[in-house]
Amino acid sequence: MILSLDRSRIFVLVLLAALALLPIVATLGGEEFYIGQFRRILIFAIAAISLDLILGYGGMVSLGHAAFVGVGAYVVAILVHHANEETLFLGFIPGTFEPLITWPLAMLVAGAFAFVIGLISLRTSGVYFIMITLAFAQMVYYVFVSWRTYGGDDGLRFRGGDTLAGFIDLGDDLTFYYVVFAVLLAVLYLGRRLVKSRFGRVIEGCRENERRMRALGFPSYRYKLAAFTIAGAVAGLAGGLFATHEAYISPSIMHWTRSGDLIIMVILGGMGTLYGPLVGAVVFMLMEKFLPDYTQHWQIVFGPVLVLIVLFARRGVFGWVLPARAGGRGHG
Amino acid sequence: MPLLLFLEQTLNGLQFGVTLFLMAAGLTLVLGIMNMVNLAHGAFYMLGAYFAATLVPITGSFFMSVVLALAGAAAVGLLTEMVALRTLYSRDHLDQVLATFGLILFFRELVKIVWGPIAIFMDVPDLFSGRVEIVPGAPYPVYRLLVLAVGVTVGGFLWWLITRTRLGMLIRAGASNREMVGALGVDIKRLYTLVFALGCALAALAGVMAGPLYVVDIGMGDDILIKTFVVIVIGGIGSVRGAFVAAIIVGMVDTFGRILPSQFGLSATIAELAIYILMAAVLFWKPRGLFPAAG
C-alpha cells in the first residue's frame, strides 16, 4: 500500500519535489525574486490547508478564517514590536524576537480565539454558521483597526524577529524558504495523520450525517469544536510566519474578502484532500501576482471563471488526478 | 447627552435603519425562499448608486434617474439570475458563497473599467438640499427625512405586497414548501426570477439613496452587505417583518454606537463591534433569529 504509486501520489511527489528544488533553480537562474514570492505562497498554503480541515473534512463553511491568520500575525508583530521598544504588552508581558517563542504563541492565541468563537458559532448551522463566523471575524478586524497602539488601520511595521533559535538567519531568503517549507511538510504530515485517525473519521462522519453520529454516541459538538480549534491554531501559525515574512502587518489581512480568497484556494485545488489547497494556493496566488501584468482587469475574467468552476469543476485541480471515488465531498 | 443631539441621532439611526431594511428585504426573501446565499447583493447596491450618479447629470432629474437606475439594476439582476444563479439554487451553501463571491469580483472590476477606480460624489438634489426644524433649534437635512420616508413607504408597500396580494401569497407559499407550490402549477422559476429582480431593485434603491449621503465607490457594497447579513440573521432568515425590526435595531445601535464612545473618550471605530456583539448574543440565545420564519 505504501509503495503503491497511483496518479495522485506521483502528482504530490512531483509537486513537493518541484517546491523543494524551486529556490535552487531560481538562484541558479538569477531569479531570486521568486523565492520570496513562493515563500509567501507556501505560507498561504498552510492557512488554506488548515481551512480544508474544517471546510473539506468537517463541512463547516467558515467565512472568517482569515481572522485567525490575522491574530497569529499580530501576536508575532506585537511581541517583536515590544521587544524593539523594550516595553511590556498590557503592562506585564515582555516582548521577544525569538520565533521559537513567537510562532508557537501565535498558534496558541489563535487557537484560543478559535475555541471561543467556535464555542458559540458551532451552536448554529447552515447559513447562520456562515454568517456568525463572518461576524466574529469582523469583530476581530475592527478591534485591530481601532487599536491605535499597534498602528490601527495603517498597520504595524517592525524590525527584527528573524533569527531562529539564535543562529538561523531568516533574513536569508533561501534559509527562510526552507524553514517555511519544513513547516508546510509538517502540517501536511500531521494533517494527514489527523484525518486518517479515528478523530478525522468522526469529523467526516459529522459532515455526512451529524444526527447519525450523535445517535452512535459521538458528542459531535465537541469533536467539531476540537477540529475548529486546531484549524484556527494552524491558521495562526501561518499568520505568524506571514508576519515574519513581511515584517509588517495590517488589519487588511483579516478583511472578510481574505477569508473568501482562502475558500477559493481550497476549492480551486480540491477540498477534502489537504494537498489540493496547496495546489489551489499556488495557482491562485500566481494568478494574483502575474495576471495583472497582462491585464489590470483580470478579475473580470477570474470572477466568471470561478462561477464556472463551481458549476462544472467542483473537484478542483487536485480532483482531476485523484481516482474517481476518493477525496470527493459530501452532500450536506 | 443633550436632548437635541439625542433626537438628531435617533433620526439618523432610523434613516440608516431603513436603508439597511431596503437591502435586507430583498436578500432575506432570496435567502428564505430560494435558500440561496447571495454575497453579490452588495453589487446591486453599488450599481444602483453608480447608475444614478451617472444619470443625474444626463437627465437633469433626480426622480427620473432613480427610476432608471432601479430599472437598470433590476435588469442586470434578471440577467445574472438567469445566466448564473438559477443553477445554484439546488447546490449547497458553499457553492453559492463561492460563485457569488466570483460575481462580486466580476462586478467590482466591471465598475472599475466603466467608471474608473476613483470615488464619485453625488449631490443632494436641489429640491431636498435644505434643512427643516422639526424641533425648534435643531435643523435637520430634508434629504435624510426623504430617505426615511422612502424607506417607510417601501416597507409598507412590501407588507401590502406580501400579505395582501396573490404574488405575495405565492412568495410565502414558496418559502414554506417550494415543491408543493410547483406541483400546484405555479411557475416557480419565474417567481424566483421576479423575486430576485425585485430584491436587486430594492438594493439599488438603497444604494441610490445612500449615494449623496456617503460616497459612491467600488467598496461601498462590501461594507453594507455584511451589515445586511447581520440584520437578516438577527431578524430571522426569510422574515421581512424580522428584517424590518432588526434593521431598525441595527441602525440605532450602529448610530448610537458611534456617538456614545466619544462621549466616554473611546475611539469611534470600536462602535463597529457593537452590532456584531449584538448578533452573536442574539444567535447565542435564539439560534434562528428573533422572528424565525415558519417552515
Collapsing DSSP to helix, strand or coil, B132 comes out as strand
pLDDT at residue A159, rounded to an integer: 86
Dihedral sign computed on CA atoms, order B263, B267, B273, B275: positive
Which residues in chain B are contacts of A266 at CB distance < 8 A? none
Helix or strand (DSSP H, E) at A171: none
pLDDT at residue B264, rounded to an integer: 62
Q: Minimal Cα distance from A331: which residue of B?
A: B92
pLDDT by residue (tens digit) across B164-178?
999 888 888 877 777
Helix or strand (DSSP H, E) at B277: helix B272-285
The answer to whether position A93 is within a domain reads yes
Q: Minimal Cα distance from A300: which residue of B?
A: B106
CA-atom Rg of chain A in angstroms: 20
The answer to whether position A294 is within a domain reads yes
pLDDT at residue B76, rounded to an integer: 95
Tally of structural domains, chain A? 1
pLDDT at residue A323, rounded to an integer: 62
| Res. A230: pLDDT tops 80 | yes
pLDDT by residue (tens digit) across A296-322?
888 888 888 888 888 887 777 777 776
pLDDT at residue B91, rounded to an integer: 86
Helix or strand (DSSP H, E) at B134: strand B131-135
Neighbours of B59 (CB within 10 A): 15
* Domain with A125 in it: 35-321
| Res. A235: pLDDT tops 90 | yes
| Per-residue confidence band for B277, with pLDDT thresholds at 50, 70 and 90 | confident
A198 vs B65: CA distance, rounded Å: 62
pLDDT at residue B80, rounded to an integer: 92
Q: What percent of chain A has pLDDT over 70?
A: 95
Strands, E, within B17-112: which ranges? none
The answer to whether position A92 is within a domain reads yes
Closest CA to B91 of A200, A243, A177, A314: A314
Q: What is the DSSP string of A57-115?
A: IT----S-THHHHHHHHHHHHHHHHHHHHT-EETTTEEP---HHHHHHHHHHHHHHHHH
Q: What is the DSSP string of A279-292?
A: HHHHHHHHHHHHHH
pLDDT at residue B103, rounded to an integer: 92
Strands, E, within chain A: which ranges? 88-89, 93-94, 156-157, 163-164, 168-169, 248-249
The answer to whether position A265 is within a domain reads yes
CB contact under 8 A, A138 and B87: no
pLDDT at residue A4, rounded to an integer: 57
The residue-averaged pLDDT of A130-141 equals: 89
Contact B7, B138 (CB under 8 A): yes
Closest CA to A130 of A201, A204, A54: A54
A225 vs A274: CA distance, rounded Å: 19
| Res. B77: pLDDT tops 90 | yes
pLDDT by residue (tens digit) across B125-152?
877 888 887 777 778 888 888 999 999 9
Neighbours of B67 (CB within 10 A): 15
Q: What is the DSSP string of B74-97?
A: HHHHHHHIIIIIGGGTTS-HHHHH
| Res. B56: pLDDT tops 50 | yes
pLDDT at residue A329, rounded to an integer: 45
Listed by number, the residues of chain A in 269-288 with a beta carbon closer than 8 Å to a beta carbon of chain B are none
pLDDT at residue A326, rounded to an integer: 46
Q: What is the number of alpha carbons within 13 Å of residue A122 lying toward its C-beta?
A: 24
Least confident piece of the model among A71-85, A90-104, A118-132, A292-306: A292-306
Which residues in chain B are contacts of A303 at CB distance < 8 A? 102-107, 109
pLDDT by residue (tens digit) across B197-241?
999 999 999 999 988 888 888 888 888 888 998 999 899 888 888
pLDDT by residue (tens digit) across B251-260?
999 888 887 7
CB contact under 8 A, A299 and B109: yes
Contact A317, A269 (CB under 8 A): yes
CB contact under 8 A, A304 and B106: yes
For helices A275-294 and A173-196, angle between their N-to-C axes, nearest 10 degrees:
140
Task: Looking at the complex, report in whole angstroms how far the Cα of residue B62 sits from the nearest Cα belonging to chain A.
Answer: 31
| Res. B268: pLDDT tops 70 | no
| Interface probe, candidates A124, A128, A148, A264, chain B, greatest B C-beta count within 10 A | A128
Task: Looking at the complex, report in whole angstroms how far the Cα of residue B72 sits from the nearest Cα belonging to chain A.
Answer: 20
Contact A258, A238 (CB under 8 A): no
pLDDT at residue A328, rounded to an integer: 44
Contact A270, A322 (CB under 8 A): yes
Which residues in chain A are contacts of B222 at CB distance < 8 A? 256-257
CB contact under 8 A, B105 and A303: yes
The answer to whether position A327 is within a domain reads no
Mean pLDDT of chain A: 89
ipTM score: 0.82
B106 vs B234: CA distance, rounded Å: 29
pLDDT at residue A182, rounded to an integer: 96
Q: Minimal Cα distance from B103: which residue of A?
A: A303
Angstrom distances, CA of residue A160 to CA of A68, A103, B106: 23, 14, 40
Closest CA to B153 of B39, B28, B16, B22: B22
| Res. A204: pLDDT tops 90 | yes
| Res. B67: pLDDT tops 60 | yes
The answer to whether position A145 is within a domain reads yes
| Res. A190: pLDDT tops 60 | yes
Which residues in chain A are contacts of B272 at CB distance < 8 A? 138, 142, 145-146
- Which of A97-106, A126-135, B131-140 reaches the highest mean pLDDT? A97-106
- Supply the DSSP symbol for A124: S
Task: Looking at the complex, report in whole angstroms how far the Cα of residue A88 sits from the nearest Cα belonging to chain B.
Answer: 22
Which residues in chain A are contacts of B112 at CB distance < 8 A? 297
| Res. B265: pLDDT tops 60 | no
Listed by number, the residues of chain A in 159-218 with a beta carbon closer than 8 Å to a beta carbon of chain B are none
For A29, phi then psi, to 5°, come to: -80, 0
Q: What percent of chain B has pLDDT over 70?
A: 95
Which residues in chain B are contacts of A127 at CB distance < 8 A? 31, 37, 93, 233, 237
Cell of A1: 500500500
The answer to whether position A189 is within a domain reads yes
pLDDT by residue (tens digit) across B24-37?
998 988 887 778 88
Task: Looking at the complex, report in whole angstroms how far the Cα of residue A227 sits from the nearest Cα belonging to chain B.
Answer: 19
Task: Looking at the complex, report in whole angstroms how far the Cα of residue B273 sits from the nearest Cα belonging to chain A.
Answer: 5
CB contact under 8 A, A145 and B226: no
The answer to whether position A243 is within a domain reads yes
Angstrom distances, CA of residue B98 to CA of A105, A225, A267, B85: 32, 24, 9, 12
| Interface probe, candidates B98, B233, B262, B277, chain A, greatest A C-beta count within 10 A | B98
CB contact under 8 A, B283 and A123: yes
CB contact under 8 A, B287 and A123: yes
| Per-residue confidence band for A330, with pLDDT thresholds at 50, 70 and 90 | very low
CB contact under 8 A, A130 and B97: yes
| Res. A332: pLDDT tops 80 | no
pLDDT by residue (tens digit) across A153-188?
889 998 877 888 888 888 888 899 999 999 999 999
